[in-house]
Amino acid sequence: MELIACQMVSSVDIDENFAQVDAQLSQWAKGCASPSNESALVVLPECFALFGGDATLNLRHQETLGDGPIQSKLSQLAIKYKVWLVGGTIPVKTHDPERFFASSTVYNPQGVQVADYQKIHLFDVDVADNTGAYRESDTTAPGQRVVIFDMQGITVGVAVCYDVRFPGLFQRLAAQGAQIIVLPSAFTEPTGQAHWHTLLRARAIENQLYMVAAGQGGTHANGRQTYGHSLIVDPWGEVLAEKNTGPGWVSTHFEQALIDKVRRNMPIHKHNRFTNELTQ
């Protein structure tokens, strides 16, 4: 199975952003040995379809889960390229008209939506960059569910961006059988420089699984600066592929045998006394 992380510099134009995704997947597909890519997992960045506008941009384009033009376009892309597609995040309606879910919707090669994850941890942080302060909770509602999905016998967990700073979520996903965790992201430039590689490698090492992190990577229309450096990390913490800045994609192959070897040689899940013994 092939793992693909697509990096973007998204704008406020949905059609332009989808054209960017389509161009990357078209380039990737030309290099495939087989016309059938149903064992490929493609991950798009956080806010891939809408980014760089004012605070109301996502509210103006929020959709009902399972119905809407952005979700329809994602389904069509999955069918066109015969891939499993993790659609970054899109704005999905909640009961509060002033707040949406940052939802990561997943599609199989037949274009069927097989999973949706609402970002649990919201980025309410002060950062020394062009934006200065982020208050995601002003317009975004936090999710409540841990989400995995089955991809032809392989268990994939879903997290988004700021979630990576909360190892408990990743431990829960691993406990539910995750062998891969996908992480659509839009890390800021300063926080990315400081912590991005360390956090991703740590989550992979701690849980002995693959991390596929697709990011935004450039300067956007509103001046926001995103770090990029989309990564694929293996269960031993090795960076297998990286795209530094600008749009583009990276890929590598998933190896179940490597996960089995790492977990067999260092059985940390069995050795973890906090989960196995010290329950009080």
What are residue 243's phi and psi, to 5 degrees?
-115, 115
Residue 27 parent element (H or E): helix 14-30
SS3 239: strand
Based on the residue annotation, tell me whether 47 is a catalytic residue of this protein: no
How far is the C-alpha of 12 from the C-alpha of 86, rounded, in Å? 20
Based on the residue annotation, tell me whether 6 is a catalytic residue of this protein: no
**Active-site pick, 6, 46, 93, 243:** 46
User: CA distances (Å), 271 to each of 27, 76, 122, in order?
Assistant: 44, 45, 32
How many residues appear in the chain? Answer: 280
Based on the residue annotation, tell me whether 119 is a catalytic residue of this protein: yes
**Active-site pick, 73, 93, 119, 243:** 119
Distance of CA 147 to the CA centre of its chain: 12
**Active-site pick, 63, 161, 189, 243:** 161
Amino acid of residue 78? A
Residues annotated catalytic, as ranges: 46, 119, 161
